Amino acid sequence: MAFSTQDVIPLSQARANLSELADQVKAGTEKIVTKNGESYVALIDAARLDYYHQLERERIHLLILEDARRGLEDIAAGRTEDADAALARLQSARPAKSRSKRG
């Protein structure tokens, strides 16, 4: 979504006109609130925020499925390793300082 200059609001103005801004956001616009001339927070419709969270969860699920697919390909190609051996290899590759923090 493209923003116009009318969608960028200083915090002082947002504070004074919050109800009006909320109505505009509910009607479909998004607002960027600035503080000291820098982006500070965004005002978006709650339903749109829920949608964004849903998209994020779906993306995570797709990444997990891709990892599983690659794992199955590795198994089919014989690229496997004993779990105990893999853990030992990973632990030996860690710096001594980080190993001592766990103990």
pLDDT tens digits for range 32-86: 999 999 999 999 999 999 999 999 999 999 999 999 999 999 999 999 999 999 9
User: Three-class SS string for 29-57?
Assistant: CCEEEEECCEEEEEECCHHHHHHHHHHHH
CA atoms within 13 A on the CB side of 71: 7
- Per-residue pLDDT band for 100 (boundaries 50, 70, 90) equals low
Any idea what the Cα angle at residue 92 is, between residues 86 and 96, rounded to 5°? 150
The pLDDT value given to residue 75: 96
Is this structure's pTM higher than 0.85? no
